[in-house]
Structure 1
Amino acid sequence: MQNLPKDGMSRINQILPFLPIGKSTVWKWVREGKFPEPVKLSSTMTAWRNSDIHAWIEAQGK
């Protein structure tokens, strides 16, 4: 499995392999403030900062 780059941005299908949750849970947790907020790149494209995803994953190992 490839690693998620530390820099840049990724769309949901690119980050899902690194998460212990599914797509619907990601969106639910975003709404509940339990997962990093995505960035709206256009009216049809949303992505997450890879650094935010790495920080979230590391925080889960507390």
Structure 2
Amino acid sequence: MNQLPETGFLRLPQIIGNPKAEPPIPPIIPVKKSCWWDGVKSGRFPKPVKIGNGRSTFWRVEDIRALIARA
């Protein structure tokens, strides 16, 4: 698993990975983007927070750690 910071925020590609990035970003939670958003909608995955002008979507590292812990 990737090293997660103790606190902070993650963007979606940092969570589900991006093999096309340079260098490629390995997934923490290996699911497709549509599956992730379905999981957010159903409550399976944590809800995002909007930062800045409301157009940037992030997830709290603490919420991702909790998700991993209960898996």
Fold match, TM over 0.5?
Answer: yes
Taking the TM superposition and a 5 Å limit, the aligned residue runs for 1:3-18 are 3-16=3-16, 17-18=27-28
Greater Cα radius of gyration, structure 1 or 2: 2
Aligned-pair identity in percent equals: 43
Shift of the alpha carbon at 1:15?
A: 1.3
Unaligned 5+ runs, structure 1: none
Taking the TM superposition and a 5 Å limit, the aligned residue runs for 1:2-41 are 2-16=2-16, 17-41=27-51
Higher normalized helix content (fraction of residues): 1
Say how many residue pairs are matched.
60
Shift of the alpha carbon at 1:2?
A: 4.1
Q: Give 4+ residue runs of structure 1 displaced > 4 Å after superposition.
A: none
Deviation per CA, 1:11-36: give whole Å up to 9, x if none: 00111110031211111100011100
Number of the residue aligned with 2:64: 53
- Name the TM-score, length of structure 2 as normaliser: 0.75
Q: How far apart in 1 are the matches of 2:62 and 2:29? A: 14
